[in-house]
Each structure stands twice: as structure tokens, then as C-alpha cells.
Structure 1
Amino acid sequence: MTTQEFSTMVQKYQALVYTVCHQLVPDVQEAQDLTQETFLAAWRAIDRCPPGFEKQWLARIAANKAKDYLRSAWVRKMNTPGDEVLALEGAPPGMQPEQQVLEVLGEEELTGMILNLREPYCTPCRLVLLEQHTMAEAARLCGRPPKTVEAQVYRAKKMLAQQILQNERIPCERRSVHGTV
């Protein structure tokens, strides 16, 4: 494929590629960046494009670029899974999200919810969330591998988030909208 033919393909499918990226990554700037990355990747791998299937090929590259972006460490760090309940919208400046949850629920109720978790989640959560041990310390105290304890605390936070969101005392506008719980 010549440079002119590729330029024509870019003009023809630019809107499609942007739409695919924007549907997967709602941020406009990121979708535009991913559109450019898609065409750059397409140019580098143009010899692998099946003749007559340029549209589908570009859409697949765009979807893969968007998925790679969503899996990136930066995006995952900015939207830490499992902490949805602690990322309540509208927290006043200087007020930790954990403190906001405590104000709404009360320390006793939240402690009770943690202690009522089923095993294997209760022990690591008690150690990490209530007794303020590090994940490594909790793993040592539980006699479990550190990654196992991290996974158990992550899953327990999701279970707690679900319970808290079902609690009628948290108004809808204060519930998290980040991801599924």
C-alpha cells in the first residue's frame, strides 16, 4: 500500500476509529490520542492488513489500543478497583473518603460489617482494615501468600461496597459511579 492509499484510508475511516476509541474510553483527549496511535500501529503493520477488510482491521486495532489503555498501570492506579465505596463523590476538601463513610455508617456498624464477613475474607480484612497491619504483615499472620491476602482484601472491599451501597442511609447522589461494585 502506498502512502497516498494509506492517507485515503485514514481520511475514510478516521471517524470510525475515533468512535470505537471514544466508546471504550470516554475521555475525549484520550480517545483522540488512541485514534492517532491506532493509525500509527496500522501504518507499521500495513503489510498484515487483509485486502478488502481495512475497516474491520482498523476497528480491531482501535479496540485493542483502547483495551490496552484501560489495562495500563496509570489508569488502574487512578481508578483503584475495590475502593469504589471509599471514593464517594463530593467529599469535602481535606476529608478522607474513609472518614465520610464512617460518618454515614458509624464506626461500630462498619466494624461489624467487616467482622461479619465470611472466611477467608474476615481475618485479612480485620488485620488490614481494622488493626492497620500492612498486607505483608497480614499475610504472615494469616499464614497465607501476600498475593492471596491482597486478593482477599480486594474482594472483601467489593463485598463491603455492595453492602454499603444497598444501605438506604447513603443517598444516591453520594454513591460512587466509578465502575461496578
Structure 2
Amino acid sequence: MTAQEFTSMVKTYQGLVYTVCFQLVQDADTAQDLAQDTFLAAWRAIDRCPAGYEKQWLARIAANKAKDHLRSGWVRKMSTPGDEVMALAGAPPDQGPEAKALAGVGMDELERKILNLREPYKTPCRLCLLEGYTPAEAARICRRPEATLSAQLWRAKKILRQEIEQERRTEDGTISR
């Protein structure tokens, strides 16, 4: 494929590629960047494009670029469960649902809840929240990849929040399903 043919393909499918990226990332600037990355990747691998399937090929590259972006640590910006409790005194008033759920929980109760978690969540939470290890240090201790440990911490935070919210609903007399 010549550079002129590729330029024509870009003009033809730039709207589609942008739309695919935007539907996944829900941010116009990021979608534009990902569309550019898509066409750059397509240019580099143009010899692998099946003839007659340019549209589907570009859409797949765009979807993969957007999914990779969403999976990246930069986007997830994960915090560990309990960060809100440990920093509540100087914390901004609204840090999201986890902060609201943990706001009324004391350290003793939080420790009890963490120690009652099932594995693989209990050990990373204990190390990071109760013993003060960083996620990187805890990952080395647990012999797990840091990304795995971070994901486990995120899931544990979600479990703790749901448990606390359920207890509050039960205490308030409002039972929801």
C-alpha cells in the first residue's frame, strides 16, 4: 500500500476509529490520541492488513488500543483500601464511595474486617494497611506481580465497602437486594 492509499484510508475511516476509541474511553482528548496511535500502528503493520478488510482491521486495532489504555496503571490510578481511613483527618471531604463507606469505621473494626477477608485479599491488605508496607514491598513478600497485588487490593477495598454498606443498611432497618 502506498502512502497516498494509506492517507485515503485514514480519511475514509478516521471517524470510525475515533468513535470506537471514544465509545470505550469516554474522553474526547484521549480518543483522539488513541485514534492517532491506531493509525500509527496500522501504518507500521500495513503489510498484515487483509485486502478488503481494512475497516474491520482498523476497528480491531482501535478497540485493542483503547482496551490497552484502560488496562494501563496510569488510567487505573489505584489506591489501596484504607488509605482514606488512615488519612481522614486531612482528607478532602469527598474521595468517592470507599471514603464514604469507611468514614464511620474505626481502625479496630477495619482491622477485624481485613483479618476476616479470604485469601488472596487478606495478606495484601494486612501487609499494606495494617503493617505499612508499600504495594511493591507487599508484592515481593507475597511473591506476586505488583499489578496482581494492586488488583487484589482494589477488589478487597470493594468487598470491604460493600460489607460496611450492607451493615449500615441493616442497622438502619433498610434491607435492599
Q: TM-score of the superposition, structure 2-length normalised?
A: 0.67
Residue pair 2:80, 2:154 contacting (<8 A) in 1 also: yes
Residue pair 1:42, 1:61 contacting (<8 A) in 2 also: yes
**Which residue number in structure 1 is paired with residue 158 of structure 2?**
161
Match for 1:59: what amino acid?
A
- Which structure ranks higher in relative contact order (CA pairs < 8 Å, sequence separation ≥ 6)? 1
**Aligned residue runs from structure 1 range 1-181, under 5 A:** 1-76=1-76, 78=77, 80=78, 83=80, 94-95=90-91, 102-118=102-118, 121-123=121-123, 125-133=125-133, 145-147=142-144, 151=148, 154-155=151-152, 158-166=155-163, 167-168=165-166, 169=168
Q: 1:149 to 1:121 in 2, by over 3 A?
A: farther
Cα distance in structure 2, aligned partners of 1:4 and 1:139: 50
Q: Percent identity?
A: 55
Residue pair 2:128, 2:138 contacting (<8 A) in 1 also: yes
Cα distance in structure 2, aligned partners of 1:27 and 1:93: 33
Cα distance in structure 1, aligned partners of 2:154 and 2:60: 34
Spell out, residue by residue over 1:113-134, the C-alpha distance to the aligned partner (whole angstroms, 9 max, x if none).
1122235654553343223245
Residue pair 2:24, 2:66 contacting (<8 A) in 1 also: yes
Cα distance in structure 2, aligned partners of 1:160 and 1:133: 16
Let me know the Cα RMSD of the aligned residues: 3.9
Q: Which runs of 5+ in 1 are unaligned?
A: 171-181
Match for 2:161: what amino acid?
I
**Which residue number in structure 1 is paired with residue 175 of structure 2?**
none
Match for 1:147: what amino acid?
R
1:63 Cα shift? 1.5
